[in-house]
Structure 1
Amino acid sequence: MIIESIAGTWRFSLDEAKQGVDHKWYNERLQDHIQLPGTTSEHQKGEYNTAREIAHLTEAYPLNGYAWYQREIEIKAEWASKHIQLYVERTRVTHVWIGDELQGMQNSVSAPHIYEFGIMAPGMYTLTILVDNSGLPIKGGHMTSPDTQTNWNGLLGRIEIQASDLIRIDNVQAFPDAGNKSVQLRFQVINDTMGNADANLSIALADMVGAIQGNGNAAAGVKTAIIRSVPGIQSVELHYELGEDIMLWDEFNPVLYRLLVSLEANANGQTYRNEQSVSFGMRQFGTEGTQFTNNGRKVFLRGKHDALAFPLTGYAPMTVEEWVKVLSVAKSYGINHYRFHTCCPPEAGFMAADLLGIYFEPELPYWGAFQDPADEGYDEARSDYLREEGLRILKAYGNHPSFALFTLGNELHGSRNAMSSLLKEYREQDNRRLYAEGANNYFWAPAFSEDSDFWVTMRTGHGESMVRASFSHADLPLGHVQGSYPSTVTDYRDNLPDIQVPTISHEIGQYQSFPNFGEIEKYTGVLKARNFEVFRERLQAAGMLDQADQFFRASGQLAVICYREEIEAALRTPGFGGFQLLDLQDFPGQGTALVGVLDAFMDSKGFIEPEKWREFCSEIVLLARIPKFTYTTEETLVAELEIANYGSESLEAVQLEWSLKQGDRLIEAGVTAAKHVRQGTLEDVGTLQIDLSAAEAPAKLTLALKWKGSDVTNHYPIWVYPSAQVEAKPQAEFHLRRSFDQETSDILEEGGRVLLIPHQEQLSSHIDGAFASDFWCYPMFRSICEGKDAAPAPGTLGILCDEKHPVFKAFPTEFHSNWQWWPILIHSHSLILDKWPEAFRPLVQVIDNFERNHKLGLIVEAKVGKGSLLICASDLIGQQDKPEVRQLLHSLQQYAASEEFNPSFELSYDQIRSVLDPNAVGERETHRGQAVINPSYPN
């Protein structure tokens, strides 16, 4: 095949009124110009968009309609009597003219557009392409969404005129048989002559990695065959033995090979030659019971969601180098799997994944209902399009070993018969991968489809049903991160139904962090972060812009803590198939979901380094099952140690070195007995029992695990508190009050000190307590909840505090939420302080979301009247069975009784009453002097 790129300068015209077809613009010389490959938005064609989108990024030059592209092409003399075709790697709906002759229409958004021109006389021709991004039979999922890669208009990737002999090879597909070290080739021989011909075929194998390095063309064995070519299209199958030394493709050793298929035929005294190459990897991706396998080795999918969001261009990269860079970042965070939400990457993405050893799961570009022909309102065009788009994806990318799974779309509904029929056709067409009905289909009533090879779901309808740790308030009940007292023992084994296929947890995580306004300047391409600008203005109007970076960092640390538990819960589940994060990176649309530890550019947000993330997200993870995070010095820490081994081999004589430290001070250490850990299993490797009496409580401890002789580690925080407080003589009298009533006011007016822990009913202006960072983004799920007449989520993003403030002298904490804050936050109602002075800052501030921007106080202090007031909006009194709650109460008491309790900010009685209702509960109790450690208070 002769290939000539026609990239470069093209003539161009916008056609917003869609009049060009009627006015025969293909017969005119277009006057504007554009560079291809590229998009209209990249080249600033059309009207500049001054809107400020809030729910997603703003495209500076959007286009929804027609654009015309035109240039001359030359059919060279040596191309006479050759078959000519146009190849456009990626675009939208296209109509193509040569001169004034329409060559047809194509509408794939996932696969190349190839137009067959046939034999053309040498000379110059005018090629005109109309691209319409408004005329798809379907909405197109994230292939065309403004929430992700935009609905761009243009021509991307390779744009070529291709000339081939009239007898040629087409559509070479390699079906590897890893067990027998052979490959079955399926291809077509096309004969556009009028006569029969004897065609000599030869097949040669070259190492693909060597080919990339420039030395891989040496033949590794040649197979020949002769076929009788007849006019038309013939299907050919040839079996090729690869030899004993062939290497298999997997995530640990992604070896690629390239087959060269050559044809030489003689007909009517003329010789025809053609050569096609195909890269492939020797792999057999399958299942064994509830687990995935690759070449017989168990695989746990550590996946991320991807919707082809690339803010600089508005479309997915079209070169291998760009994709290698992107996928290498994901792999550095332990990711071995990509799920493409209602979209399909281009060829370069698959090739990069082939080279790096990442398992891809593209989907049909669809998010809706499937229909049977008998259904009322049956949309034949839509059904036909979905079927054909899937076949086009299989044909274009089916040879890639990274293409391991395929589904019909996201959260589908409608006819299961229609979906089953499609799965059957695809599987018969191409059995090189696993197929499933969809991702989280029928999520309101989940049930496994027997026609699927695996199941992607958030609930199973079995046991407590959950197979992920986080849910929105529109999908109650919540997961265990928010809904259960913290531990590291939760897994999903009891929630898995008795089905012998792997289950993958759908879109796990979705823990939001606060915007990083410093990111705005990175949006130098087609998409602008005007939503971030609006969020910044809102925060400034709320008087907290100076805290933006603190909110960003603190909320990010909470998100990491939640993600760790989310991922480890999946790894603690024996025989589980894997998970699909939403997401490792921020999602720029659907309300603006800042759910990543990477930003939308795949750059680190500074929350956690890749090597720390890989402690709990990698092929081998050391796990400790700990029943709780908080203890007293009278207790014993018991931890069941496990290894999740999804590495390349079974592990012999594994020993774990463990230590419990208080800073640099060693409390206890040891080494477990040697154990054999099978590949693809979760194995017990020992039990720790550590007496905590040696801890200098209160303290945060670190339990460290290390696989002896390796760099594989993991770490867990533990908090230890005194079992009984040893009280120092208070430096000053204080009053512990439960209501901001007249008696409390009198104490303050007399210059007294008050620690106020009001009954929760008295918090008249508040936001409900929550531990986990808000799910996805507040505005999107607020509106969904309101549409269901359900209460929205609290919408908060953890806490921000000054960990060095004396109020925390007896309560070790970081500047952000951690597990010891869980019962304190869950049983709280943070105060809305919007009407208090702008400069006021709480001692413990609950971080609100970017839509609401309330100033929220959990612990606040102020001068009131002549006295000093310290308020805690958590029900510490009702949670005295929790050592962390007792300890916080003690720390507040110690502070209130110290000379350091000297608030500088003055507030009026009315300002305090604006957030407290003294009439809600009528208790009038007070405690003076030394703190009460285990009080018995009326409810």
Structure 2
Amino acid sequence: MKKIDLSGKWEFCLDSEKEGIEKNYCQQKFQDYIELPATVSTARKGVPSKEEHEGFLTDPYSFEGYTWYTRMVELSTEEEKEYFLVLERTRISHVWLNEQYIGSNTSLCTSHRYQLTPYVKQKNWLTIMIDNTSYPVKGGHMTSPDTQTNWNGITGKLYIEECSKSYLTKVRIYPNAKESLIEVKVTLNGSEKERLEVWVSDEEHSFPIEEYMLQGGENTVRYYMGHKAKTWSEHTPNLYQLHMGFYKEDKMEKESWQYTFGLRDFKATGKYFEINGVRTFLRGKHDGLLFPLTGHAPTDLESWIKVLETAKQYGINHYRFHTCCPTEAAFEAADMLGIYMEPELPFWGTVTEEGQENHDEKGQQYLIEEGFRILDEFGNHPSFVMMSMGNELWGSKERLNQILGEYRNYDARHLYTQGSNNFQFVPCILDNEDFFCGVRFSKDRLLRGSYAMCDAPQGHIQTMAPDLRYNYDQMIRPAEAQGEIAQGGEITIQYGTGTKSVKMDTSMEMIPEVPVVSHEIGQYAMFPDFSEIPKYSGVLKARNFEIFQKRLEAAGMLSMADSFFRASGKLAVDCYKAELETAFRSNELAGFQILDLQDFTGQGTAIIGILNALMESKGLVLPGEWRQFCSDRVILLELPKLVFTAGEIINVGVKLSAFGLKPVVSPEVSIIVRDQNKVLLSEKRKMTNGYHNGVYQLEDVSIAFPERNVPEKLVITAEIVGTDIKNSYTVWIYPKCKQEKWQEDFVVTESIQEACESLRLGKKVLLYPESLNEDNSIKGTYCTDFWCYPMFRTISESMGKAVPIGTLGLLIEDKHPVFKYFPTESYTTAQWYDFVSNSRAFILDKCDLKPIVWSIDNFERNHKLGNIFEVEAGKGKLLVCTSDLRRLSDSNPSKWLEYSMHRYICSDKFKPSYHMEIEELEQIFRI
């Protein structure tokens, strides 16, 4: 088989008015040129726009309409030849050869293939028109401006395939790892029979050649590889090449084909996934094909290896593609690296049956066919283990089940699910699906730690003080079912970036009998890193970041941008750690899909990644640090809290999530408590068992925290001696707070009037303002915002529900003398939980002072929010704290913060650098 490369120079024309068919552009030559493969945007065709998009990245050369390409192609006119035009990845295509219309192809996810043979001459004018406006369906993230954009062009391989009249199609390789054989289904075209030679090779050797006689149409051949054949998995991504060729006795030549495959059996067995008979756990990430430099998914292997290797450095072994399917190179890279891939149909909507309201038979049939095309084109890749019908679907369960059954009957090599988070509040498990992917089983049976306010109740990481014992086992398979959970009727739900009304059927409490994967976990927002802006040097420009930067500058806080980013980012990392460890502690969970390792620069601009949108580190956490709590082997301490009393003795559970290549045999568990570099406690426990492919409860450990006179930060490290299995936890210990009687040299009050009167007299004042309300302050919350404030603010408002708080944690001037007796980091940590949960952050937009403790606001609102700040006013000095610590008598950290503030006020260090007049102070506190 010969490939005639068509990459290079083509005549080119933009057709924004879509008049080219009517005006016979296929018969014309064009004045412009383009180098293919390319998109309009990568080639910078047309007039660049100065438009600025706030909710997603901006493509200055965005184009919607028709694009036309034409060139001369010389081909042989031998009768024994067949010719096929192949476009690897494009939009809706139309093809003409010598002004003869060949046809069209609408696939968004697979290559376009056209048979040219009947129209071939020696010299041929080949014309291609690409349309990115007439899709049968919206296309999910295949066409969304939120991700790879609705680009127009032709990417990847572009060639004419020249082969003999007898050729093979629909080659499907069915591996059987247990029996070390493959079953190959092939369709013979153009001949009644052919003798086929089949052999297998890898980098080391070739297996014997076997001969088979094929008949016209579909055939099945079996090839036994023997007991020495190596299997494929995330740990052992062993690949083989399948070679097939026709042997022509008269000409002594071969027509040959080659396919990559791996021996693997990926199955759902009970409540777990298994790879080659061994239980595994999916550590997944979401991917929407966001590639800012090109505006489209790469088609070269090198780019995908770089991306997937980065994900693997952070412990990822699974990719879920949100309403999209990656290119061939992505599967090839995943094959090589050992990553489990789950493409998804490009659909985010409602599936209906004929006769139902708003039934779109054409669009629905297109999606079904697109699924079969995906299976045919990518199904041989060992990394392709799962497939989803779409994202957050609604509609007919019966129709979804029928479609699933058709796919399973057609290709049993993969596991199937009805979709990701379908029927959100009242999920179901269909007869034909192999696993469940969602966020809850009922309103209160939650499978992740964070939710939008409009999808309340929120998760445990948003609503509880840090607790490292929590897991989802009881949520997934409760000991006792609760009976009926929802009444029929219509409700309004969050749907994409908006809302919709859906009908809910009465449902019973569901106990899943298939593996459960938690959907889109995480989504912990942080402040943008504006230093990234110059990195968007390709197709997509970060004009949304530029808008946010200008807003912050207008608010007078541009100098704080980097501090806001780092403090909010550190809190987000801690939230992700808590989220992931909850998953690893959950024996009933089969995997998770995080959203996301990288930022999602669409849907309002969601800065939720520890990596930026280019898959580069933000400097918030090293890969090795992240793998401590996201890897195939994770040791976990079950701590009831992260703030303790000095001298307190606690019993700590130790768990091991072990899904590595080899068992952890007779491990020696080491627990060390450190004060900086000083070891305060060290204990080792020798276990006698082997631990492999499961979540195990090891022996508990007793930890006695030291007696101390002042608060202190400690680090607890747990590790398996002699391995890289290690994890660490920062805890805070507080002695009982000293009760001292303070001299009458400062005033403590809730009244701004009393504070101002005292300041006029030259007194020192500690103010716990009582007049904080919805107009002058923002409610305190420990956890950072979910996804992004602008998107969920509008959704909540349209649903008549509470708007998100929208803050991104605290920024703390940790070296300030007010914290002499209250050690702290520069960002939110556990000892601030009581404080921030009982506070309101005061809006200080009208003054230039810098708070000692800020609440970091989101990039839309940009309030200057102060929780603790100080000023010199009149003849006096004022320290303001927006959490009344006097009322938090049960909180030892809060009492110590109060003590530290009192000592500070009484010291000569109390010298506020910002001065305002009493009248100005009265003004900023005025309602």
Following superposition, the deviation at residue 120 of structure 1 comes to 5.5
The residue that corresponds to 1:565 in the other structure is 578
State the SS of the aligned residue for 1:884: helix
The residue that corresponds to 2:804 in the other structure is 793
The residue that corresponds to 1:85 in the other structure is 84
Match of 2:551 among 532, 538, 542: 538
Match of 2:909 among 877, 880, 900: 900
Equivalent positions of 1:411-810 (< 5 A) are 411-461=392-442, 464-497=444-477, 498-695=511-708, 697-725=710-738, 733-741=745-753, 743-759=754-770, 765-810=776-821
Following superposition, the deviation at residue 904 of structure 1 comes to 1.9
1:131 aligns with 2:130: yes
CA RMSD of superposed structures (Å): 1.7
State the one-letter code of the partner of 1:239: R
State the one-letter code of the partner of 2:210: K
Q: Distance in 1 between matches of 2:758 and 2:440?
A: 54
Q: TM-score, normalised by structure 2?
A: 0.94
State the SS of the aligned residue for 2:552: helix
Contact 1:181/1:246 (8 A) holds in 2: yes
1:231-251, Cα deviation, whole Å (9 max, x unpaired): xxx101011111010001000
1:615-652, Cα deviation, whole Å (9 max, x unpaired): 00000001000011111114213311111111123221
Following superposition, the deviation at residue 80 of structure 1 comes to 4.3
1:184-235, Cα deviation, whole Å (9 max, x unpaired): 000111016xxx4x4211111011xx2xxxxx6x531111112344xxxx10
Closer, same or farther: CA 228–150 of 1 in aligned 2, 3 Å: closer
Contact 1:203/1:262 (8 A) holds in 2: yes
State the SS of the aligned residue for 2:442: coil
1:304-356, Cα deviation, whole Å (9 max, x unpaired): 10000000100111111110011000000000011100000000000000000
State the one-letter code of the partner of 2:577: R
Match of 2:338 among 352, 357, 360: 357
The residue that corresponds to 1:936 in the other structure is none
State the one-letter code of the partner of 2:623: P
Q: Distance in 2 between matches of 1:760 and 1:581?
A: 41
Following superposition, the deviation at residue 613 of structure 1 comes to 0.2
Q: Distance in 2 between matches of 1:412 and 1:857?
A: 42
State the one-letter code of the partner of 1:262: G
1:252 aligns with 2:235: yes
Contact 1:39/1:154 (8 A) holds in 2: yes
Equivalent positions of 1:104-115 (< 5 A) are 104-115=103-114
Following superposition, the deviation at residue 565 of structure 1 comes to 0.1
State the one-letter code of the partner of 2:752: F
Following superposition, the deviation at residue 44 of structure 1 comes to 1.2
1:225 aligns with 2:236: no
The residue that corresponds to 1:394 in the other structure is 375
Out of 81-90 and 901-910, give the one that drifted further: 901-910
Contact 2:846/2:924 (8 A) holds in 1: no
Closer, same or farther: CA 201–14 of 1 in aligned 2, 3 Å: same
Contact 2:760/2:918 (8 A) holds in 1: no
1:565-620, Cα deviation, whole Å (9 max, x unpaired): 00000111113111111100000100000100000000000100000000000000
State the SS of the aligned residue for 1:672: strand
Q: Which 5+ residue runs of structure 1 have no aligned equivalent?
A: 211-215, 919-939
Q: Distance in 2 between matches of 1:14 and 1:857?
A: 54
1:100-157, Cα deviation, whole Å (9 max, x unpaired): 1100010001000000112565511000000000110100000000000001111111
Match of 1:823 among 834, 856, 863: 834
Contact 1:99/1:125 (8 A) holds in 2: yes
Q: Distance in 1 between matches of 2:303 and 2:469?
A: 40
State the SS of the aligned residue for 1:570: helix
1:518-546, Cα deviation, whole Å (9 max, x unpaired): 11101111111111111010000000001
Q: Distance in 2 between matches of 1:669 and 1:376?
A: 67
The residue that corresponds to 1:923 in the other structure is none
1:6-61, Cα deviation, whole Å (9 max, x unpaired): 10011100011111101111111122100101101111112211111000001010
1:881 aligns with 2:890: yes
Q: Distance in 2 between matches of 1:461 and 1:721?
A: 40
Following superposition, the deviation at residue 270 of structure 1 comes to 8.0
Following superposition, the deviation at residue 850 of structure 1 comes to 0.4
State the SS of the aligned residue for 1:686: coil
The residue that corresponds to 2:877 in the other structure is 868
Closer, same or farther: CA 732–520 of 1 in aligned 2, 3 Å: farther
Q: Distance in 2 between matches of 1:763 and 1:87?
A: 61
Closer, same or farther: CA 533–121 of 1 in aligned 2, 3 Å: closer
Contact 1:662/1:695 (8 A) holds in 2: no
Q: Distance in 2 between matches of 1:911 and 1:455?
A: 59
State the SS of the aligned residue for 2:609: coil
Q: Distance in 2 between matches of 1:772 and 1:121?
A: 65
Aligned residues: 894
State the one-letter code of the partner of 1:465: R
The residue that corresponds to 2:76 in the other structure is 76
The residue that corresponds to 1:199 in the other structure is 194
Closer, same or farther: CA 228–833 of 1 in aligned 2, 3 Å: closer
Following superposition, the deviation at residue 827 of structure 1 comes to 1.3
1:716-744, Cα deviation, whole Å (9 max, x unpaired): 111011113275x9688222212223x33
Out of 269-278 and 564-573, give the one that drifted further: 269-278
Out of 345-354 and 862-871, give the one that drifted further: 862-871
Q: Distance in 1 between matches of 2:762 and 2:341?
A: 68
1:336 aligns with 2:317: yes
1:728-777, Cα deviation, whole Å (9 max, x unpaired): x9688222212223x33222111111111233756851011111111111
Q: Distance in 2 between matches of 1:358 and 1:101?
A: 44
State the one-letter code of the partner of 1:551: F
State the one-letter code of the partner of 1:900: K
State the SS of the aligned residue for 1:862: strand
Closer, same or farther: CA 764–167 of 1 in aligned 2, 3 Å: closer
Closer, same or farther: CA 447–695 of 1 in aligned 2, 3 Å: farther
Contact 2:97/2:120 (8 A) holds in 1: no
Q: Distance in 2 between matches of 1:908 and 1:477?
A: 45
Following superposition, the deviation at residue 457 of structure 1 comes to 0.5
The residue that corresponds to 2:263 in the other structure is 282
Q: Distance in 2 between matches of 1:47 and 1:175?
A: 50
State the SS of the aligned residue for 2:805: coil
Following superposition, the deviation at residue 444 of structure 1 comes to 2.8
Contact 1:81/1:165 (8 A) holds in 2: yes
Q: Which 5+ residue runs of structure 2 have no aligned equivalent?
A: 478-510
Contact 1:514/1:797 (8 A) holds in 2: yes
1:156 aligns with 2:151: no
Q: TM-score, normalised by structure 1?
A: 0.93
Out of 790-799 and 368-377, give the one that drifted further: 368-377
Q: Distance in 2 between matches of 1:782 and 1:651?
A: 47
The residue that corresponds to 2:480 in the other structure is none
State the SS of the aligned residue for 1:402: coil
1:399-445, Cα deviation, whole Å (9 max, x unpaired): 01111110001000011111111111111111111100000011132
State the one-letter code of the partner of 1:738: E
Q: Distance in 2 between matches of 1:675 and 1:222?
A: 49
Q: Distance in 2 between matches of 1:566 and 1:321?
A: 32
Q: Distance in 2 between matches of 1:562 and 1:204?
A: 51
1:57 aligns with 2:34: no
Q: Distance in 1 between matches of 2:194 and 2:645?
A: 83
1:847 aligns with 2:860: no
Out of 134-143 and 294-303, give the one that drifted further: 294-303
1:356-388, Cα deviation, whole Å (9 max, x unpaired): 000011100000011111213321110110011
Contact 2:465/2:830 (8 A) holds in 1: no
Contact 1:249/1:401 (8 A) holds in 2: yes
Out of 293-302 and 779-788, give the one that drifted further: 293-302
